[in-house]
Amino acid sequence: MTDAPPHSYLPRSGTHDYSVLSYDLDLNYRVATNRLDATAVIRGRATVELRAVVLDLVHLKAKRVRLDGQKRVRFSQNATHLRVLPGSPIPAGAEFTVEVAYDGSPAPRRTRWGSLGWEELTDGAIVAAQPSGAPTWFPCNDRPSDKAAYRIRVTTEQAYTVVATGEPTSHSVGGGRGTWVFEREEPTATYLAAVQIGRYTLERRHTAGVEWAVAYPPALARRVLHDFEPVGRMLESFQELFGPYPFPSYTIVVTEDPLEIPLESQAMATFGSTHADGRGGSERLIAHELAHQWFGNSVGLASWHDIWLNEGFACYAEWLWSEASGGLSAATHARAHHARLRIAPRDLLLGDPGPDAMFDDRVYKRGACLLHALRNRIGDERFFGLLREWTRIHRFGTVTSADFEALAERVAEEPLGTFFDEWLRQTRLPSLSG
């Protein structure tokens, strides 16, 4: 992996001064009052000498902090960060453990991309964290390249089903409340950690060697079961194209509330009732979110500068699924969107779109067109071999555009510097011919 660019898109989120090895979260949540009482145990390793451990935490108040078991630790908190002060500096390379007891009424934070984080539903709650919403429900080092293991324990009213990051390991009921425990060993970025709570039916499936499940409100059963039926065939197709599905399972959550866009998280995707119309109207979005499990979740970003590696690949997967399922070919989709890009403003650098434009639709479509142009240039055999090698060698890691460019040149056995310069580092739109 090459070095990440400077942390400039979200300069106040996360730090490179340490990395987190694991989060152990114990969440006691009351749906009726939107009240969270929680404890987070964070195990980290210093990369420089630490005179303070700074954690992102928004809207919630730290009540008690311990560092490596010490009961009396100085700490301070402002609107966005919790600062923990050790009695003596933590040496570079040393491991440490911070325990934070905190509480409050979790709420989304306001950002340039809209409201992000823990959000109340009409009857339940969801997490929409990308890119900076994670600190609204747990203290964390909120940068995309800092992946960690998770254990999440959620206790809430008994009538609700909880789906959270990780494999479910236990579920118990007592005193009118249910407790659910999930564990995720695969390294996971903070923005991909999630908790979804609702009155859901949980239906489990097994297709193409993958355990998958759909959680949905009973009233939406007919629409959901119809619209998400293709997931099994998508799993078959994408494993052939991209390599083995990277996680032990995949869970789809469909909320009773409408959502403007689906929500991506590790081994999970969340859709609103608006995405289950009973006519398959969101099939491309279903394919898009599933593809993120390879591109974005398993193979993660070292920096938000390279978000096209997430969104361009997932968008191209939509076109590949259309082709594989008997719809329009990827080439037809590419030509149509390339034509639209020709008349769109030409002020976007795909390789560094800037924070205001990182979710611009042109990042998605130009990224997908780049991939189709590369396919045209090096041929199907090498192109799909490249995708499978990309997901294999960077499984559970973090990457940059430079990593992809280097691997593409190695697989293609030809220089591709000019090709990538034109697509990533110039605003002019190149030809699809490759």
Q: What is the pLDDT of residue 7?
A: 59
Confidence label for 72 from pLDDT (cuts 50, 70 and 90)? confident
Note the pLDDT tens digit of each residue in 382-410: 999 999 999 999 999 999 999 999 999 99
Q: Which of 67-71, 200-204, 210-214, 310-314 has the lowest mean pLDDT?
A: 67-71
**In whole angstroms, how far apart are CA 176 and each of 164, 172, 252?**
20, 11, 26
* Distance of alpha carbon 251 from alpha carbon 211, whole angstroms: 9
pLDDT given for residue 32 in this prediction? 96
Give the position of tokens 């580092």. Answer: 425
Domain of 172, CATH number, reads 2.60.40.1730
More confident residue, 71 or 87: 87
pLDDT tens-digit map of 338-368: 999 999 999 999 999 999 999 999 999 999 9
pLDDT tens for 137-189 read 999 999 999 999 999 999 999 999 999 999 999 999 999 999 999 999 999 99
Residue 3: the pLDDT is 43
Residues 17 and 155 occupy one common structural domain: yes
For residue 206, is it within any domain?
no
In a domain, 319, yes or no: yes
Contact 55, 98 (CB under 8 A): yes
Which of 157, 174, 189 corresponds to the end of one domain? Answer: 189
According to DSSP, the β-strands at 263-265 and 210-216 are unpaired
- As a whole-number percent, the residues of the chain with pLDDT over 70 amount to 98
Q: At 5, is the pLDDT very low, low, confident or very high (cuts 50, 70, 90)?
A: very low
For residue 204, is it within any domain?
no
- Is the confidence at residue 2, as pLDDT, over 70? no
- Give the span between the Cα atoms of 251 and 214, in whole angstroms: 6
CA atoms within 13 A on the CB side of 33: 8
User: Over the chain, what is the mean pLDDT?
Assistant: 96
Distance CA 251, CA 202 (A): 9
Could you tell me which of 272, 264, 329, 271 has the C-alpha nearest to residue 290? 264
Q: Same structural domain for residues 1 and 150?
A: yes
Q: What is the rounded radius of gyration, in angstroms, for the C-alpha atoms of the chain?
A: 22
pLDDT value, residue 198: 98
Cβ pair 150, 168 in contact under 8 A: no
- What is the model's pLDDT at position 88? 95
Confidence check: pLDDT of 1 > 70? no
Q: What is the pLDDT of residue 113?
A: 95
Are the beta carbons of 75 and 62 closer than 8 angstroms?
yes
Per the structure, the count of domains in the chain is 2
CATH number at residue 400: 1.10.390.10
Q: What's the count of helices (H) and strands (E) in the chain, helices before strands?
A: 9, 22
Q: Residue 184 in contact with residue 267, Cβ under 8 Å?
A: yes
What pLDDT digit, counting tens, does each position of 211-248 carry? 999 999 999 999 999 999 999 999 999 999 999 999 99
Q: How far is CA 229 from CA 46, 55, 208, 403, in A?
A: 46, 41, 14, 35
Looking at residues 110-126, what average pLDDT do you find?
97
Classify residue 121: in a domain, yes or no.
Answer: no
pLDDT tens sequence across 10-37: 999 999 999 999 999 999 999 999 999 9
Residue 382, domain member (yes or no): yes
Residue 288 belongs to some domain of the structure: no
As a whole number of angstroms, the distance between CA 168 and CA 210 comes to: 15
CA quadruple 329, 330, 335, 336: dihedral positive or negative?
positive
Question: Residue 246 falls within a domain, yes or no?
Answer: no
Residues 158 and 19 in one domain: yes
The pLDDT-based confidence of 71 (bands split at 50, 70, 90) is confident
The alpha carbon of residue 171 and the mean position of all alpha carbons in its chain are separated, in whole angstroms, by 25
| 285, part of any domain | no
Contacts of 312 (CB under 8 A, 6+ apart): 350, 363, 364, 366, 367, 368, 370, 371
DSSP code of 347? -
> Which of 260, 324, 246 is CA-nearest to residue 292?
246
Where does a domain end: 161, 189, 217? 189
The boundaries of the domain holding residue 172 are 1-105+132-189
Residue that is last in its domain, among 157, 189, 221: 189
Rounded CA separation 365/356 (Å) = 17
